[in-house]
Amino acid sequence: MEHRKVIIIGSGPAGLTAALYSARANLSPLIFEGNQPGGQLTITTDVENFPGFPEGIQGPKLMDEMRKQAHRFGAESKYEHVTSVDVSKRPFTVHVGETVYTADSLIVSTGASARLLGLESEKEYMGYGVSACATCDGFFFKDLEVAVIGGGDTAMEEALFLTKFATKVTVIHRREELRASKIMQERALKSGKIEFKWNSVVEEVKGTEENGMKKMTHLVLKNTLNGELEEFPVQGLFIGIGHKPNTELFEDILDMDESGYLVTKGKSTYTNVDGIFACGDVQDHVYRQAVSAAGSGCMASIDAERWLAEQGIE
């Protein structure tokens, strides 16, 4: 059975930064990269807001560079998906099917996934007009008309952010009452650039293809009250129906909030189980940026290193 002082579950900016710091602290971390090595950034294109890259960098490239940097100091990756953990006693055990690893400490950086509508055409136009992240892609919709789906704080925040670029933003919501907090509702209503389309759901995303490049042109919307269909011309579609933290592995093990995000103590990355630390989007539904995730990955590694030292493991 392979044993490590630190096992990191998840390989986005949080996990790979935790790996870099733990490796440089001589803790020989093992990273389980999971089903999407590199995390959510590997499905974006240009990352223009990660400091240090004035010309921007491609998401997958940024993650490759982070991984290389961690490996350079002795971190090791396994391209496997953890199936269960047992933290009832130490060392903890991490299971990948029948294979078992043991660890003195765990860093959880399993991230979150944007919720999608689940339409075939949404998948088809993802990256070609459809996006689940205004902060990542809003800039590409300068002087275009866009729609945002959802009625919660995420949708309001996305819509407000998009008013900086788009000529018109339409929030499409399946009811006629917003779920968003009063303050966010007021901001959206006051902005003057956001229109609301109530009682409507997207049936299909439609577009054209020129020289092999797909481009969305309109949505087919269904009125939820009378079932009527209409074509709604728009060049961008942002899905703002929330995120789902990837915390299934830790149900009944780690403390979570009502939305399933891991709860960390105060300003630290400590969870409710001694020796388990959480960082990145799995414990952050507020900032959710690559750079803030990387920062919390650094914190988790430092917390783990100090905790291990307190246990006499160095």
Say whether residue 157 binds ligand NDP (CB under 6 A). Answer: yes
Candidates 114, 70, 117; CA nearest to 281 is 114
Task: Verify whether residue 279 is a known catalytic residue.
Answer: no
Say whether residue 150 binds ligand NDP (CB under 6 A). Answer: yes
295 φ/ψ angles, rounded to the nearest 5 degrees: -60, -45
Instruction: Tell the smallest beta-carbon distance from residue 144 to ligand NDP (Å).
Output: 22
135 φ/ψ angles, rounded to the nearest 5 degrees: -60, -35
Say whether residue 110 binds ligand NDP (CB under 6 A). Answer: no
Instruction: Tell the smallest beta-carbon distance from residue 121 to ligand NDP (Å).
Output: 14
Instruction: Tell the smallest beta-carbon distance from residue 162 to ligand NDP (Å).
Output: 14
Burial class (CB in 10 A: 0-12, 13-18, 19+), 3: exposed
Among 179, 193, 206, 222, binds ligand NDP (CB under 6 A): 179
Among 68, 175, 215, 306, binds ligand NDP (CB under 6 A): 175
Say whether residue 151 binds ligand NDP (CB under 6 A). Answer: yes
Say whether residue 158 binds ligand NDP (CB under 6 A). Answer: no
Among 174, 187, 206, 214, binds ligand NDP (CB under 6 A): 174
Among 60, 152, 260, 295, binds ligand NDP (CB under 6 A): 152
Q: Sheet with 145-149: list strands edge to edge.
A: 130-131, 236-239, 145-149, 168-172, 194-197
Task: Verify whether residue 257 is a known catalytic residue.
Answer: no
What letter represents residue 25's amino acid?
A
Residues 6+ apart with CB under 8 A from 11: 31, 32, 33, 34, 37, 38, 39, 63, 67, 77, 109
What letter represents residue 127's amino acid?
G
Report the C-alpha gap between 64 and 171 in whole angstroms.
36
CA end-to-end span of the chain: 20
Instruction: Tell the smallest beta-carbon distance from residue 34 to ligand NDP (Å).
Output: 22
Residues 6+ apart with CB under 8 A from 188: 156, 159, 160, 171, 180, 194
Among 24, 61, 71, 285, binds ligand NDP (CB under 6 A): 285
Among 18, 149, 159, 171, binds ligand NDP (CB under 6 A): 149
The residues assigned a catalytic role are 133, 136-137
Q: Which residues bind ligand NDP (CB under 6 A)?
A: 117, 149-155, 157, 174-175, 179, 181, 201, 241-242, 259, 285
